[in-house]
């Protein structure tokens, strides 16, 4: 399935602000991260959190084609 991923801050600089990944139908958040890590190829990016439909997700959270998936590098608001 094709899954759209939004990226921010350092991850957007490295890979662009929007990517489409081809993932197996039973993919989970950890599969998204593994695929992106392979694309980033040791760029030294900080470990991100992942949001699914604008909520923080866990590595075992399933992802679907219609989900809005976002890569959230360490936040620095305030």
Partner 1 sequence: MRTAIVDRVLDPTALLAEVASPDSGASTLFVGTVRRLHEGREVTGIDYSAYRPMAERELADVVAEACERYGTAHLVVEHRLGTLGLGEASIVIAVSHARRASAMGAQKFVIEQVKARVPIWKREHYADGSREWVDPTRAAVSDADAAGIP
Interface ranges with partner 1 (CB under 8 A): 6, 8-10, 13, 46-47, 51, 54-56, 70, 72-78
* Residues facing residue 56 across a β-bridge: 51
In whole angstroms, how close is the CB of 25 to partner 1 at the nearest point? Answer: 26
- Least separation in angstroms between residue 9's CB and partner 1 is 4
Which helix (H) or strand (E) segment holds residue 38: the answer is helix 29-40
Closest residue by Cα to residue 68 from 13, 29, 34: 29
Contacts of 13 (CB under 8 A, 6+ apart): none
23 within 8 A of 14, measured Cβ to Cβ: no
Which residue, 1 or 75, has its beta carbon nearer to partner 1? Answer: 75
Compare residues 25 and 46 and give the one whose CB is closer to partner 1: 46
Minimum Å gap between C-beta 73 and partner 1 is: 7
């Amino acid at each position: 399935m094709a899954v759209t991923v939004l990226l921010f801050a350092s991850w957007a600089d490295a890979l662009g602000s929007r990517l489409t990944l081809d993932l197996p139908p039973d993919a989970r958040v950890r599969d998204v991260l593994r695929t992106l890590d392979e694309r980033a190829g040791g760029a030294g990016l900080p470990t991100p959190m992942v949001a699914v439909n604008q909520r923080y997700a866990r590595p075992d959270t399933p992802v679907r084609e219609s989900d809005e998936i976002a890569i959230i590098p360490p936040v620095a608001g305030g």
